[in-house]
Structure formats: C-alpha cells, structure tokens
Chain A
C-alpha cells in the first residue's frame, strides 16, 4: 500500500486521491454490489463486476483529461451497468458456465427482510425476492437494466435514460414490457399476497 499511497498523493483531483477514493468507495460499495448482484443474479460474478467497476472508475479519474463530475454516483452507476451488460453479453457464449452452489451464495448474501420481524413474512419476502431474481434473468438486457435502476435504485426515467444512453420513451417501453413479463411470471405470488392481506 505504501508505494501506491505515495504515487496517489501526487494526484490532485478530489476523488483521484486514495483516501478520498477509499471513502467514496466505502460509501458506494454496497449499492454497487447489490446493483451488480441484481443484474447478474450471481453473487460471485457481482463481486468481480463490482471490483471491475471501481477499478475502471479509478483509472478514469486518474486520467489527466478527466472532467469534473456533476454526479459521481450516477457516473459510477453507469460504469457498473455497462460492466454488467458486457458480462451478460459475453455470458451468452459461455455455454459451459456453471452457476455457483447456492450455499456459496448464502455465505456472501444473507437475504432477510429486516423491516418485518414476523418469521413467516420474512420467508415469504425471501421467496418473492428469489422469484423476482429468477424472473429478471428472463428479461432482455436493457429491460433488466431499466427495471433494476427504476425499482431497486429509485432512479427517475430521465436518469435511467442518461445512464443507459437511451431516450426516455424507449426506457418507458422497456419498463412497461419488463413489468408485463414479470406480471406473467409472478402472478401466483401477486394474487397470494393480495389474498393474504
């Protein structure tokens, strides 16, 4: 770390400073990891994609021609989404690829609805989360990205359009189709949940 710290001391930009970058990374890390996790539906790959995202961000910030960032979080989200989309595109060719064991994923993630202390409700929330995760894999890449940014990241249509480099109308179409597909996939859970209320 010493050599790196010396080298980084020389960088002037706010985020290009190691300590600043480290603090920023810590504040954004969980959000970026969960975004990658939801897009890739694979904890191990999401870990690798998160590392790539911060590495790319660091390299971009270190470049002398790097511009001032209006919204670093949005910029980082864009890098993360593009990293995930690249991985999903290359995954299409990896027919030999195996899913990691569920136990391995369990060690990384501990799905629990902390808001509800009721055990049954927690199990149901977990079941819904798993089903949504599976259903997301059946969406197109753009639909998945738009859905994740809208529902998990609470991004506005304009922000999603900017992140995905699309116009707002196209984002609305992607979201509408994604919701319709998910409605087909999750209708049993939806009706079960409504009946229980």
Chain B
C-alpha cells in the first residue's frame, strides 16, 4: 500500500532523529561540564561563510596554538578541545549554535565568539546560565562596561573607543588646531571609533570637520574620499577594514591630498601598506600613523621578535592550511594564549567560576604582543588591552613612534 509505505518511512525517520537526541542531557547545572580528567571542551562561533567569512581564518591561529599546547602537556594535564562552528555572522544562527554547544556538547566555556551582534544576541543566555563568554572577538566598547549586568562576558580586543582615544591623544599632543576628517565603516566598529575619537579631542582643540561613511557592500570609497578632501581638513582618520582602508590611502594620494593620517590597526598589516604603496605611490602611505598591539607577520622589523619566531614554529608544525602572513591568524594565536593563561590559573580542578575568577585577575605578558603592551584584567576593569604602540610608516615600514600609550590615562 502506497500511503503506508510513506507512513513507514516517516515513522522510521522521525524515530531515528528523535532517538539520536533523547538520551542527551539538558543544560548541566554543575560547575564543570566539559571538563574530564583528560580534556577540556570549549566552544566558539566564527563566520566561516557569508560576507564576513574572512574573519573565519582567526580560528586557524587558535586551533594551531591549542594543538601546540596539547602536545606540550596541555593545561594541568588536560588537552583543550575547541569546537568552533559557523554562524555566518547571523545572530539568529549564533543563538541556536551556542545553545546547542552548551546543552548538547556541554562545553565548559565559550571562547572568542566573533562579532558584536552575535555576541549581544547570546550574552543574556550565557550570563543567565553562568557560562563564561570569554575573550570575545570584537572591540565594541559596551562589552567592557556591563560587568554588573553581564559578569560572565569579557572582551579581548582593545575596544575601538580606546584605540580612537589613543589617536586623539596623540593628535592633541601634536596639533591643537587640527581639522579632522573621518572615513568610517557604517557599523558598530566605525561608529564606536568616531565616538571615541570625538571624546578624546573634545574641548582640547582639534575639531572634526567632516565624516563620511561607507557600507561593506560598497565597491569603493572614491566619492567619500573626495568629499573629505573638499572639506579642507588637514588630518584624516581612517576607521576602515582592510580593503577600504587601502582604497582610502590610494585615493588620498591620487587626489594629491596629504593630511596627517591615522589608520586603525585592523588595516595596518604590512602587506596592506605595500599594496597601497604599489597602487598609490609612496605618498599614499608615508607618514601614516597607526597603533598596534599584536605583532605583524609581514613586518620585517618584527621578524626577530621571540614571539614571531614562536608563531612561525607553531604554524609550521600545527598550522595546516593557515597562511602565516594573515594577521587574523596571529591574532587568533594571541587570543588563544590568553585563554590558556586563564585556564591554567583556573586551577587543577577548574570550575566555571574559577575560570571566570582567573580571567578577571590576569596580568599577562603575551608573547604575540608588541613589546610594552600588556594584558591585565580585574573585576572592576574589563578592558584587558588598553595600550597600544604607535607606529609611523617611514621608508616602507612601521617604526615605533612615541611610547606605548595607555588609554586608561
């Protein structure tokens, strides 16, 4: 009989599906799910597909570092297993995946979940269930200010406003009458930058005379740059992601405009600067000021740093397909170092609370950071990284310029 065959298929299929999951426990209320005598299971979400997929390469750096640590005794004798899944930068996906990781896989904690919107979406759930949401991959300032409301959430990146403030301080120190133009990405990253910068220069002399935003879907920023040049500004702040930052530098040179230029560190990798120089000439990049905290694999001036050597060693053995020149990869490794640091300090029998406690009492010298930049946290200071080293692009290379500036001061 035809319909009963269909019925049978339906019945079998649903039993199989349901049966797969019936035995899985729900949300464990214990303090150390995901921790066994041999391993610690942590979860994460990154965009591996969709428009933001370039950020997915961060995961390669993380996995390489964990593999290295595991091969060298692990953390207090346990291996770290990092289950990193694709949310496509869609918060609706992120909430589902985080729930699944927490309730089915029973992860101990979440590490380096990426993106402002995705992190905001999962923050209430994770905090309600007292699951650590650590070292998130975003610089949105709000995450550092909500410690009372969301005690289980912790930033990693220097927040955008702090970085913008670092630039602002430098500008105030050098040109009190500066007229500033800003090109920024029209999202929380760019908008945070503008806010931070304006806060730093408020009442101190320099003024913002024009801002222009662009969408990630724009093909180029030619008209924005032309509008900014027309404003007569003598200083330019580029709060843009790599390809748009390079375009901004190139177009600036082509327009014959030579303002003092501050460039966000997201886009300051050497290979990007070289691409800009190639397309726009030396004028595109000479004199540009950026602030960095992580070592740049494409900067020959940093090749001798012990951290850089370690990075390359680890990648050559555990890196797989990872491209050593991809700044996201070393960023991932730096974040992974901090995670391991926190896990170590969580003790021989870590619990979620002991992990949180460790994470909130870090005072770390991260080998993948630029000399002088430290990472420190406390229950009242949830901005782990607030220092950056200013660098100026001179003769084809970023050279240290001034001291490491601390946005706290």
- Do A and B pair up? The answer is no
Residues of B within 8 A of A (CB): none
